């Protein structure tokens, strides 16, 4: 199988390394400028191409779209027109411009697509998805807190698209994992209300915090996102009729509190393993155009997020 990458930044390189380690596929990278920096030693097996004519000659089977967010739909459109299956890094894009055109092309060609939210493969999320199905949930509180300058050590974060609203930066899209697993765990989001803003000096022209009240029909969720805090936290707290559940995605812990007990279960929270499992899932379903979180499913949530984001801007 021939795989082509569009974007070999931190996330693209992570996916590429897993492919090179675990699969025997032919891996290519589209690099628009020959002056792009040389690939790391462990990515040296990747063949570079520099024009779309070369892409057409290769006839890739799958495109990994891991370039900056604002280029996702544009790149996916070109690939879809060539009949290439799509692995799109989250989020879908930073606007819905040409999304319907892309969806129609995918539908017409019956292309396999997947939008990559790797936390669906986190062991704590996997446990909660099964465990809470039989529970009556009264309320959920979710927090994702971090410090953006520490995300990509060795890189100047001020030059990244994470701090550019035009390129898809800001906590709403950059931390959209939380919106995705809210639907994955608690049902389809029916409404999002709340506030977001730029309150620090680190986020360029983007929002760096959000406080939202979300209704999934099954339960209410309070969601807090920020990337301007020195406290790193990623937690899910669930109040049920008979117990309280507190899940820590970073440390791989789930705590259960009842009137009679207080216990903790531990899980192996290897972040890289979530990416490995995600790629295995994709290739196990590479001929299934209805795989989990295909572009049609992901676009439904993406529109809800953007509607909320744009309404308050």
Phi/psi for 251 (5° steps) reads: -95, -5
Q: Token pair for residue 201?
A: 């000096």
Q: Among residues 83, 116, 149, which one ends one of the domains?
A: 116
Mention every residue, 6+ apart, whose C-beta is less than 8 A from residue 122: 249, 269, 274
pLDDT given for residue 79 in this prediction: 98
Q: What is the pLDDT of residues 10-27, one digit of tens each?
A: 899 999 999 999 999 999
Question: Among 76-80, 211-215, 269-273, which stretch is predicted with the lowest mean pLDDT?
Answer: 269-273
What CA–CA distance (Å, rounded) separates 275 from 117? 9
Regarding whether 91 and 142 lie in a shared domain, the answer is no
Regarding whether 139 and 107 lie in a shared domain, the answer is no
Please report whether residue 278 resides in a domain: no
Asked whether the beta carbons of 64 and 55 are under 8 A apart, the reply is no
**Would the pLDDT of 313 be above 70?**
no
Percent of the chain's residues with pLDDT above 70: 97
Tally of domains in the chain = 2
Domain with residue 244: its CATH number is 3.30.360.10
Regarding whether 93 and 154 lie in a shared domain, the answer is no
Regarding whether 131 and 48 lie in a shared domain, the answer is no
Please report whether residue 22 resides in a domain: yes
Q: What is the pLDDT of residues 271-281, one digit of tens each?
A: 899 999 999 99
Regarding whether 161 and 180 lie in a shared domain, the answer is yes
Helix axes 271-284, 10-22, angle to 10 degrees: 60
**Would the pLDDT of 2 be above 90?**
yes
Regarding whether 159 and 70 lie in a shared domain, the answer is no
Q: What is the pLDDT of residues 24-74, one digit of tens each?
A: 999 999 987 654 566 676 788 899 999 999 999 999 999 999 999 999 999
Strand-strand pairing, 26-30 and 47-49: parallel
| Domain assignment of residue 92, given as a range | 2-116
The pTM score is 0.94
Average pLDDT over residues 210-214: 98
Regarding whether 145 and 95 lie in a shared domain, the answer is no
Please report whether residue 302 resides in a domain: no
Please report whether residue 310 resides in a domain: no
Mention every residue, 6+ apart, whose C-beta is less than 8 A from residue 271: none
Average pLDDT over residues 198-215: 93
pLDDT given for residue 166 in this prediction: 83
Regarding whether 222 and 243 lie in a shared domain, the answer is yes
Question: Among 99-108, 113-122, 149-158, 298-307, which stretch is predicted with the lowest mean pLDDT?
Answer: 149-158
Regarding whether 63 and 104 lie in a shared domain, the answer is yes
- Per DSSP (E only), the strands in the chain are 2-6, 26-30, 47-49, 62-65, 85-89, 113-116, 137-147, 191-197, 209-215, 220-226, 228-240, 244-248, 253-257, 262-266
Average pLDDT over residues 180-189: 98
Residue for token pair 């097996």: 45
Domain with residue 101: its CATH number is 3.40.50.720
């Amino acid at each position: 199988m021939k795989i082509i990458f569009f974007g070999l930044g931190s996330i693209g390189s992570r996916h590429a390394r897993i492919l090179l380690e675990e699969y025997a596929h032919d891996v290519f990278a589209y690099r628009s400028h020959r002056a792009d920096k040389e690939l790391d030693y462990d990515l040296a097996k990747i063949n570079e191409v520099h024009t779309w004519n070369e892409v057409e000659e290769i006839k890739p089977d799958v495109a990994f779209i891991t370039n900056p967010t604002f280029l996702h739909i544009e790149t996916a459109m070109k690939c879809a027109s060539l009949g290439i299956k799509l692995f799109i890094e989250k989020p879908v894009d930073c606007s819905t411009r040409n999304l319907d055109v892309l969806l129609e092309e995918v539908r017409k060609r019956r292309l396999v697509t997947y939008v990559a939210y790797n936390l669906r493969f986190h062991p704590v999320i996997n446990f909660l998805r099964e465990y809470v199905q039989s529970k009556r949930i009264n309320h959920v509180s979710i927090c994702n807190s971090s410090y953006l300058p520490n995300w990509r050590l060795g890189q100047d974060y001020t030059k990244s698209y994470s701090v550019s609203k035009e390129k898809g930066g800001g906590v709403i899209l950059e931390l959209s994992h939380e919106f995705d697993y809210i639907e994955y765990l608690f049902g389809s989001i029916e409404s999002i209300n709340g506030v977001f803003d730029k309150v620090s000096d680190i986020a360029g022209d983007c929002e760096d915090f959000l406080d939202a009240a979300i209704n999934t029909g099954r339960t209410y969720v309070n969601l807090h996102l920020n990337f301007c805090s020195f406290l790193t936290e990623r937690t899910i707290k669930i109040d049920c009729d008979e117990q309280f559940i507190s899940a820590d995605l970073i440390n791989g812990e789930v705590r259960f509190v009842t009137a009679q007990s207080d216990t903790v279960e531990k899980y192996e929270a290897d972040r890289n393993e979530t990416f490995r499992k995600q790629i295995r899932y994709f290739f196990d379903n590479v001929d299934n155009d209805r795989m989990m979180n295909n572009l049609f499913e992901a676009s439904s949530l993406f529109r809800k997020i953007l509607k909320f984001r744009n309404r308050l801007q």
